[in-house]
Amino acid sequence: MQTEPLATGHPLADTIARFAWLIPVFPLVGFVLNGLLSLRAAGHPGPADPSAGGHGHDGHHRGTGGTGDGHADHGHDDGHHAARHPAAALVSLIGPGVLALSFAMTLAILYQVWVVDNALREPYVLTLFSWMPAGKLSVDAAFQIDQLSLVMMSIVTGIGTLIHIFSVGYMQDDPGYPRYFAYLNLFIFFMLLLVMGSSYPLMFVGWEGVGLCSYLLIGFWFSDKANADAGKKAFIVNRIGDFGFLVAMFLMFANFGTLTFAGVGEAAMGAQLGGALVTAICLFLFLGATGKSAQIPLFVWLPDAMAGPTPVSALIHAATMVTAGVYLIARSAVLFSMAPVAQLTVAVVGALTAVFAATIGLKQWDIKKVLAYSTVSQLGYMFVGVGVGAYSAGVFHLMTHAFFKALLFLGSGSVIYAMHKAYHATHSHEDAQDMRNMGGLRKHMPVTFVLMWIATLSIAGIPPFSGFFSKDEILASVFARTHGSTLAEAHWLGIPGSVVLYGVYVLGLAAALMTAIYMTRMMLYTFHGPNRTGEKEAAHLKEAPWIMTGPLVVLGVLSAVGGFVNMPALYAGEYSEQLHAWLEPVLAEGTGITLGEEGLHLSHATEWTLIAIAIAIAAIGIAIAWTRLKPEALVAAKDAKAEEGIEKTLLHKWYVDEAYDKTVVKPTLGISRTLLWKGIDTGIIDGLLVNGSALVVRAVGWAGSQLQSGRVGTYAWVLLIGVLSVLSAFSFR
Amino acid sequence: MLAESLALSALLFTIGVVGVLTRRNAIILFMCVELMLNAVNLSFVALSKVHGVGGQVFVIFVMTVAAAEAAVGLAIIIAIFRHRQSVNLEDINLLKG
């Protein structure tokens, strides 16, 4: 591999950054090693039968938490620990180890950039080799190191390391342990490719790769058909989005002639503001983002993705992969800023998703489903941020969300782990993920309890926790752009941009209110009130081991203080907007287009008012949930009555899956069956082309075979006629 | 003289062709083929009067080939006869489509 940097003379060229290619290579090596180890069978039915060893902590609940029907093949054999893979100890070293190496490397480069901060105005592009030299198209395998990719790399490797460590505890008894870490390492490799690639095609490779790993990990316990189906659903829905990404790349190449971030950004600067071309490219890119980041209309796969192991939900479906769409838009900042209509689309879709998912989150009983819809909702917030051209605010929320949502998911994983152990010990078949079966866990799991509250206050937007700062900045940015920005002057479906932005702001507040309500509800039902697990079971409820709570503590600290990196200038003085300033070399150009020459400034009074509204909304939400919801009145899932009316609608997620089934899936299957299969495949291809040509050949062959009568006399006659006709042809020519 | 020779040759050739087409006995068929060959030989010799000795050279070749053909052909006919007790072509029709 050629490691000589192309851009010699760059301030990073002679530093450790020239070995940045090692960062994704470490997890790749981990994937290969763990993958080889996973080929060794576990001395047990093996990875194809996860339930055999008492597994599937969270793999067996696909319903909406309605009936708590348990599952028959729960596996209560006493050979529980016999399922542990023989190479488990080695895998526990390799899996998190390679991630720690990558994280250390990332930190080293981060430090370098910090040191040479002012010099790093241009991204450092590390070209490894020429990947696709084809005519006018030439794509290099090159990594781009700049402030934005460093933020993403730190999140991916940092949170990734913590979740790998947590997984050591969570997955230790699974017979597929090495396979799990192989997939997880592979995911990190592709995710790093996604955020480090210096061109859209390389990003797309990572984009597809993380999709593959997501599919593999959702269906990790694939012997349960529902899990395998959830994996397929995620894969197929993502394909729709990928189609948009591909078309956007085709358009870029056809019109700009380049696919590197730098090249496209430059070309976009020369394009017409609000022109049809940039708008089309942006909308297609956004279609890709809606698939990967679970926005309306392609959000349906993410809640189902909870079929995977909980650490996977934390890493892939909350902290990293699903934010790839946000990263994509931030990466294409200039492009989007040149297309205000596309920006407004992004903001509106983001705001609608935020509200819509939050309403569903209000009534879910499965603890992971609540968090899944919360993730969809928070991703909507990020899209509002990047949609209104506040790219650094979107990335800021991406970062804080990675902290507190990873914490929430791992915390719920810890709860599910404890619940599962308790049910396992008493051989019960109750649902370990249904909140109606929990309650009062604060006595049994005090560490998880405190940390989960930190994350809840953070996501609800209570100062000084991290979520408050990022959410507040997004909402303030939306408000600030209602006047004087390119967005306010644009028209979206005939509606003036400023009206649209006010609408987005109100939707954002509504989503914030509901976020506070459903998160408080989740905490109340899980940790407060009386215990509903069952009398025998409650004795077995206890805190998870330190290898699991350790990462939780780190994430708890990050969730609590993570917001201080980007406080508003209003009150933080010289410590304000540090993340914004850090990202400025990458994102300023795009933000500048939206805001104009001088930028926009809200008066201090307005800013204080906005902050007051945001805090009030969060506090009201928590208060509503705290006073209206009575965990004491709740009964265990098996005794619960069925929901009625609007509650039922929310529990069934507004029947979106059913609607998609009727309008998209069924017609597609119908057309496939009647027209494509019966009509075109069986009728035209099989019937006419394949069997038809065979029929023609057979008929000609039959006619020819009739000449072969076996009678020499006939042959002689034919010969004579032939000779005569040839001779006559020569004679009468 | 040339015209008569060629006329005789054509007559012999026609007799050979008609024989091949009408008879069913392999031996007679074989003799008819020989007759056709010799009809051609006759016309070669006759024409060599006009066109030089090349025709006579060719006759030698034809006779050589005919001798070889007779050896092989008769051997095949004997083999068939041993096998099927008949040299009637009506009976020899295994090779058909």
pLDDT digits (tens, 9 = 90+) for A249-258: 999 999 998 9
Which residues on B lie below 8 Å from A703 (Cβ)? none
Instruction: Provide the number of CB pairs (under 8 Å) joining chain A to chain B.
Output: 30
Which residues on B lie below 8 Å from A720 (Cβ)? 17, 21
Q: CB A711 to CB B90 under 8 A?
A: yes
Using CB atoms, pick whichever of A704, A706, A716 lies closest to residue B20: A716
The residue count of chain A comes to: 733
Is residue B40 within 8 angstroms of chain A, CB to CB? Answer: no
**Choosing among B77, B89, B91, which should be mutated to test the A contact, i.e. which has the most A CBs within 10 A?**
B89
Q: Which residue of A has its CA nearest to B22?
A: A713
**Choosing among A711, A717, A720, which should be mutated to test the B contact, i.e. which has the most B CBs within 10 A?**
A711
Using CB atoms, pick whichever of A705, A710, A717 lies closest to residue B93: A710
Q: CB A711 to CB B29 under 8 A?
A: no
| Residue entry with tokens 């902050």 | A611
Which residues on B lie below 8 Å from A716 (Cβ)? 20-21
Using CB atoms, pick whichever of A705, A710, A720 lies closest to residue B94: A710
Q: CB B97 to CB A704 under 8 A?
A: yes
Question: What is the C-alpha separation between A524 and A652, in angstroms, rounded?
Answer: 22
CA angle, A154 then A159 then A163, to 5°: 150
How far off is chain A from B93, nearest CA to CA, in Å? Answer: 4
Q: What would you measure as the largest C-alpha separation in chain B, in angstroms?
A: 49
pLDDT in tens, A47-65: 444 443 344 444 444 333 3
Q: Within the 693-712 window of chain A, which residues sit less than 8 Å (CB to CB) from chain B?
A: 704-712
Using CB atoms, pick whichever of B24, B29, B97 lies closest to residue A706: B97
Question: Are A379 and A294 a contacting pair, CB within 8 Å?
Answer: yes
Say whether the ipTM exceeds 0.90.
Answer: no
pLDDT in tens, A2-41: 444 444 567 788 888 889 999 999 999 999 999 999 887 6
Q: CB A717 to CB B29 under 8 A?
A: no
Select the more confidently predicted residue: A553 or A716: A553
Read off the DSSP letter of residue A640: P
pLDDT over threshold 90, residue A589: no
Q: Which range (A314-323, A484-493, B10-19, B50-59) has the least confidence?
A: A484-493
Give the pLDDT confidence score for residue A45 in this predicted structure.
45
Which residues on B lie below 8 Å from A711 (Cβ)? 89-90, 93, 96
Select the more confidently predicted residue: A73 or A338: A338
pLDDT over threshold 90, residue A333: yes
Question: Are A446 and A577 a contacting pair, CB within 8 Å?
Answer: no
pLDDT over threshold 50, residue A377: yes
Question: What is the C-alpha separation between A430 and A438, in angstroms, rounded?
Answer: 11
pLDDT over threshold 50, residue A691: yes
Q: Which residue of B has its CA nearest to A723?
A: B17
Q: Is B6 helix (H, G, I), strand (E, B) or coil?
A: helix
Return the bridge partners of A71, or none. none
Helix (H) / strand (E) element for A131: namely: strand A124-134
How far off is chain B from A686, nearest CA to CA, in Å? Answer: 29
Using CB atoms, pick whichever of A706, A711, A720 lies closest to residue B93: A711
Say which amino acid occupies A203. M
Distance, first Cα to last Cα, chain A: 73
Give the pLDDT confidence score for residue A280 in this predicted structure.
94
Q: Domain residues of chain B, as ranges?
A: 2-88
Which residues on B lie below 8 Å from A723 (Cβ)? none
> Given pLDDT bands bounded at 50, 70 and 90, which one contains residue A1?
very low
Give the pLDDT confidence score for residue A533 in this predicted structure.
83
Which residues on A lie below 8 Å from B94 (Cβ)? 710
The backbone torsions φ and ψ at residue A495, rounded to the nearest 5 degrees and listed phi first, read -95, 135
Q: Which range (A39-43, A158-162, A609-613, A667-671) has the least confidence?
A: A39-43
Q: CB A708 to CB B95 under 8 A?
A: yes
Question: What is the C-alpha separation between A150 and A67, in angstroms, rounded?
Answer: 46
Which residues on A lie below 8 Å from B20 (Cβ)? 716
Using CB atoms, pick whichever of A704, A712, A717 lies closest to residue B89: A712
Q: Domain residues of chain A, as ranges?
A: 339-647, 657-731
Q: Which two tokens stand for residue A578?
A: 């540090």
Is residue A118 within 8 angstroms of chain B, CB to CB? Answer: no
Q: CB A720 to CB B21 under 8 A?
A: yes
For chain A, give the percent of residues with pLDDT over 70.
Answer: 92
The backbone torsions φ and ψ at residue A258, rounded to the nearest 5 degrees and listed phi first, read -145, 160
Q: Which two tokens stand for residue B44?
A: 């070669």
How far off is chain B from A688, nearest CA to CA, in Å? Answer: 27
pLDDT over threshold 90, residue A557: yes
pLDDT over threshold 80, residue A458: yes
CATH number of B2-88: 1.10.287.3510
Give the pLDDT confidence score for residue A117 in this predicted structure.
59
Q: CB B93 to CB A716 under 8 A?
A: no
Q: CB A704 to CB B29 under 8 A?
A: no
Give the pLDDT confidence score for residue A119 in this predicted structure.
57
Is residue B24 within 8 angstroms of chain A, CB to CB? Answer: yes
**Choosing among A700, A712, A717, A721, which should be mutated to test the B contact, i.e. which has the most B CBs within 10 A?**
A712
Q: CB B92 to CB A707 under 8 A?
A: no
Is residue A1 within 8 angstroms of chain B, CB to CB? Answer: no
Q: Return the axis-axis angle of helices A147-170 and A578-595, rounded to nearest 10°.
A: 130
Q: CB B17 to CB A720 under 8 A?
A: yes
Q: CB B24 to CB A720 under 8 A?
A: no
Nearest residue to A428 via CA among A534, A526, A530: A534
Which residues on B lie below 8 Å from A706 (Cβ)? 97
Q: Which two tokens stand for residue A138?
A: 């030439």
Q: Which residue of B has its CA nearest to A713?
A: B21
Nearest residue to A408 via CA among A327, A322, A519, A302: A519
Q: CB A708 to CB B21 under 8 A?
A: no
For chain A, give the percent of residues with pLDDT over 90.
Answer: 57
Q: Is A197 helix (H, G, I), strand (E, B) or coil?
A: strand
Q: CB A712 to CB B17 under 8 A?
A: no
Give the pLDDT confidence score for residue B97 in this predicted structure.
62
Q: Which range (A272-276, A572-576, B23-27) has the least confidence?
A: A572-576
Question: What is the C-alpha separation between A387 and A403, in angstroms, rounded?
Answer: 22
Q: CB A717 to CB B21 under 8 A?
A: yes
Low-confidence ranges of chain B (pLDDT < 70): 97
Q: Is A654 left (phi over 0), alpha (psi -120 to 50) or beta?
A: left
What's the whole-model pTM score? Answer: 0.80
How far off is chain B from A709, nearest CA to CA, in Å? Answer: 5
Q: Which residue of B has its CA nearest to A704?
A: B97
Question: What is the C-alpha separation between A147 and A142, in angstroms, rounded?
Answer: 16
pLDDT in tens, A399-451: 999 999 999 999 999 999 999 989 988 888 888 898 888 888 998 999 999 99
How far off is chain B from A690, nearest CA to CA, in Å? Answer: 25
Is the Cα torsion angle A113, A116, A121, A123 positive or negative in sign? Answer: negative
How far off is chain B from A717, nearest CA to CA, in Å? Answer: 7
Q: CB B29 to CB A712 under 8 A?
A: yes
pLDDT over threshold 90, residue A504: yes
Nearest residue to A170 via CA among A484, A362, A448: A448
Q: CB A712 to CB B92 under 8 A?
A: yes
Using CB atoms, pick whichever of A709, A713, A717 lies closest to residue B96: A709
pLDDT in tens, A516-532: 999 999 999 999 988 88
Q: Is A138 left (phi over 0), alpha (psi -120 to 50) or beta?
A: beta
Question: What is the C-alpha separation between A251 and A256, in angstroms, rounded?
Answer: 8
Q: CB A710 to CB B95 under 8 A?
A: yes
pLDDT in tens, A628-644: 888 888 887 777 777 77
Question: What is the C-alpha separation between A283 and A285, in angstroms, rounded?
Answer: 5
| Residue entry with tokens 């940045």 | A20
